[in-house]
Chain A
Amino acid sequence: QKEVEQNSGPLSVPEGAIASLNCTYSDRGSQSFFWYRQYSGKSPELIMSIYSNGDKEDGRFTAQLNKASQYVSLLIRDSQPSDSATYLCAVRDAGGTSYGKLTFGQGTILTVHP
């Protein structure tokens, strides 16, 4: 059973701080990694994708991938109350069985307090 584990949370950070969200995955064949944000009552919204080892930055968001450690993280700099949401880590394998199939972690609830 391929698994994706996220730090359980909930995570609470003050406004302006850095929020760090972590995710590990069990399948070494995993090739694509995504972070989704889901507000309460809404559907997941893609905020970052990363495919190779290292860092990828987009505005206040930085995704980090380490395939050797089977670890992917998301850093949110200058956290804002509007960042309060559930963050979902998703992983896709390589090969034919990967079509359309994302394996999700359980999510980490982030609260940014003023």
Chain B
Amino acid sequence: KAGVTQTPRYLIKTRGQQVTLSCSPISGHRSVSWYQQTPGQGLQFLFEYFSETQRNKGNFPGRFSGRQFSNSRSEMNVSTLELGDSALYLCASSWGGEIQEFFGPGTRLTVL
């Protein structure tokens, strides 16, 4: 069974731009969560989607948003990029968001 896939794997943007990241969960998984990983803050939860609905949200500004499609694929968007948004963005999928999650390879975002 194929794992979680994320595209693109690497991105370089400049301050003020916006970016969209994509995540395809494991087949049959309906929950997709997004995390940000930085050396200083570690892994932090952004939000979770299930059946196209956001069920949970972490403590990030409104510049961070997401959505989920009917095939469970998810996208996250970051608008008005700041230098501090440089991070590894990880997507994780699970059956229903309540048990174990499996991570994709991540998207490395660099903001210049």
The answer to whether A binds B is yes
Residues of A within 8 A of B (CB): 32, 34, 36, 42-46, 49, 88, 90, 92, 96-107
Query: Are A45 and B31 in contact, CB atoms less than 8 angstroms apart?
Result: no
Given contacts A99-B56, A101-B45, A104-B42, contact A43 B103 (CB under 8 A): yes
- Min CB distance, B38 to chain A, in Å? 11
Q: At the interface, yes or no: B33 with Cβ under 8 Å from chain A?
A: yes
Which residues of B are found within 8 Å of A96, using beta-carbon distances? 55
Q: How many pairs of residues, A versus B, come closer than 8 Å at their CB atoms?
A: 69
Among A88, A102, A106, contact of B101 (Cβ-Cβ < 8 Å): A102
- Min CB distance, B58 to chain A, in Å? 7
Among A32, A36, A106, contact of B99 (Cβ-Cβ < 8 Å): A32
Query: Are A43 and B90 in contact, CB atoms less than 8 angstroms apart?
Result: yes
What are 10 of the A-B contact pairs (CB < 8 Å)? A32-B100, A49-B99, A100-B31, A100-B45, A100-B48, A100-B50, A100-B92, A100-B97, A103-B45, A107-B42
